[in-house]
Amino acid sequence: MKSDRAAKLAHATMPPVTRLARAKVNLALHVVGRRLDGYHLLDSLVAFADFGDVVTVQDAPALHLSITGPMAHGLSSGPDNLVMKAALALGRPLGAAITLDKHLPVASGIGGGSADAAAALQALCALWGCDLPDAAKVLALGADVPVCLAGQSCRMAGIGDEIFPVALPSAHLVLVNPGMGLGTASVFGALIRRDNAPLPPPEPLPDVAALASYLRRCRNDLQAPALSLVPQIGTVLAALSAQTGCLLARMSGSGATCFGLFASALAAKTAASALRAQSAEWWVQAGAMAS
């Protein structure tokens, strides 16, 4: 009890802590098997964009979540929200006012909820002065939470619990969502084959051209089933591919967000402007691929 009181006093003057919940992009995603318990085995090359949602926490008598931002509509701030689940999973007898500034579309294949949970864990541990939980503990929150907590480009395998850092070259991304969510379970349910080949052997990636060349040898095994559920994904992919400087266009995760890979910030920004003009219903964001 004494240590808890001391901790509360220490945190009483703590300034707010903010963390960026960066968009997660599956540059490639191979479904390589399925366990007896139903969990799918993946082999994925993951990168992060330099933009996303923003999580801010500050000391408060109890845990409380507020959601703001352009993508806040319809989101619950109750205990079923992944951010609240992450906070409660830390098991600390301390409170915090958590604000989630939501900019990434929901259920869109770029790890929004998982990234939010990871950012909340990082911010709360900084606020409360405790260690981050290990990957095995946060895996219970969702398969993408461990990789979002690591927050760096990596090869992700298993059910999301095997993470191997990978150095990727400087590159730029344009993310486009056709304005609709897509449930992960529905996409996996439409998957025909679950024992596909893993990623090709790693090779040197000195620049974005080499990265694009390697990615062309890879796949997103969830793209075809997602297309069968949301044909508009095909329209987005075609529009991305048609942009000047687009080296590769592919769907991320279980969709429906797609990405275009570009060599320069100018090419990515120009493409994003053109895509916004093409459809007002699309969510479009350009940025650097974070190192």
The pLDDT tens digits of the residues spanning 145-191 come to 999 999 999 999 999 999 999 999 999 999 999 999 899 999 999 99
Name the β-bridge partners of 52.
22
- Whole-model pTM? 0.93
Q: How far is 112 from 120, CA to CA, in rounded Å?
A: 12
Q: How far is 230 from 14, CA to CA, in rounded Å?
A: 46
pLDDT band per the 50, 70, 90 thresholds, residue 2? very low
pLDDT tens across 221-280, in order?
Answer: 999 999 999 999 999 999 999 999 999 999 999 999 999 999 999 999 999 999 999 999
Q: How far is 66 from 77, CA to CA, in rounded Å?
A: 6
pLDDT tens across 189-224, in order?
Answer: 999 999 999 999 998 999 999 999 999 999 999 999
Residue matched to tokens 């409660």: 88
Q: How far is 141 from 118, CA to CA, in rounded Å?
A: 10
Residue among 24, 53, 102, 221 flagged as catalytic: 24
Active site residue 50: no
Length of the chain: 291
Q: What is the pLDDT of residue 137?
A: 86
Q: What is the pLDDT of residue 181?
A: 86
Confidence check: pLDDT of 107 > 80: yes
pLDDT band per the 50, 70, 90 thresholds, residue 93? confident
Mean pLDDT of 50-55: 98
* Three-class SS state of 204: coil
Mean pLDDT of 116-131: 96
Residue among 59, 101, 116, 144 flagged as catalytic: 144
Q: Contact 220/254 with Cβ under 8 angstroms?
A: no
Residues contacting residue 101 through CB under 8 Å, at least 6 positions apart: 53, 54, 55, 56, 68, 69
Q: Quickly count helices (H) and strands (E) in the chain.
A: 10, 10
Active site residue 24: yes
Q: Contact 101/68 with Cβ under 8 angstroms?
A: yes
User: Among 109, 218, 18, 240, which Cα is nearest to 249's?
Assistant: 240
pLDDT tens across 54-69, in order?
Answer: 999 999 999 999 999 9
Q: At what angle do helices 82-89 and 112-128 cross, to 10 degrees?
A: 40
Q: Contact 29/44 with Cβ under 8 angstroms?
A: yes
Residue matched to tokens 């945190």: 11
The HSE-up count of residue 272 (CA atoms within 13 Å, CB side) is 21
Q: Considering Cα of 184, then 190, then 224, then 229, what sign does the dihedral take?
A: negative
Mean pLDDT of 56-83: 96
Q: What is the pLDDT of residue 1?
A: 43
Q: What is the pLDDT of residue 12?
A: 53
What domains are defined for the chain? 2-158 (3.30.230.10), 167-290 (3.30.70.890)
